[in-house]
Amino acid sequence: MSKLLRHHRASDTCFITAVTHNRQPILADHSDLLTAAIRKYSAVLRFGLLAYVILPDHFHALIECNGNDLSGILGRVKLSFSKHYRNRAGISASHIWQRRFWDHIIRDQDDMNRHIDYIHYNPVKHRMVESPFEWPLSSIHEYRREGFYTADWGRREIEVVSAFGE
């Protein structure tokens, strides 16, 4: 397999999509392990988590790298989740994640806003819920408290660009 070269600067803000191996639906039921891994490494590496959603077989996040390598951040988070998931599930050698992840460098405020909306609308897109506010594993609740969304946002289909990495 070829080595994927990623073009990032340490100051980049990036949208990422990470998917489980064979789309195993394990993340929502074990979201505490994923959020613990993200919290641990955001404290250690001091990267910013600007928005996120965790679905059964993938998650999206908007990450402010703050001087860190994006692949290093994701590698640590995925490895930590895998270790703790294997312990909890009582399994040994098993693939947990797809080898790679999809990323996009945020270009400007409009690009960031579209990606934040995409992240928060994702449970509706996948027909998990009728309203994005019904999905508990999302940063949309913090954004709503801060006044960025009205209570009825996302109940109707919103226009999203299709190239968001799924």
Count of structural domains, the chain: 1
pLDDT in tens, 19-33: 999 999 999 999 999
Q: Is 66 left (phi over 0), alpha (psi -120 to 50) or beta?
A: left
Residue 156 located in a structural domain:
no
Each residue of 145-158: pLDDT tens digit?
Answer: 999 999 999 986 66
Those residues of the chain that have pLDDT short of 70 are 1-11, 93, 156-166
List beta partners, residue 5: none
- Report yes or no on 100 lying in a domain: yes
What pLDDT is recorded for position 1? 43
Helix segments in 9-131, DSSP class H: 31-45, 70-89, 109-125
Tell me which residue of 25, 22, 52 sits closest to 38, measured CA to CA. Answer: 52
Tell me, what's the pLDDT at 92?
85
User: Rounded distance, CA 44 to CA 58, Å?
Assistant: 24
- Reading the block at residue 137, the tokens are 């594993």
Q: How many C-beta neighbours within 10 Å does residue 9 have?
A: 8
Residue 138 lies in a domain: yes
Judge whether 110 lies within some domain: yes
Give pLDDT, residue 45: 94
| 164 falls within a domain | no
Q: Which residue, 42, 51, 39, is CA-closest to 14?
A: 51
CATH number for 54: 3.30.70.1290
Q: Is residue 57 part of a domain?
A: yes
CA 158 to chain centroid, in Å, comes to 20
Structural domain harbouring 137: 13-145
* In-domain check, residue 165: no
- What pLDDT sits at residue 165? 55
Tell whether 3 is covered by a domain.
no
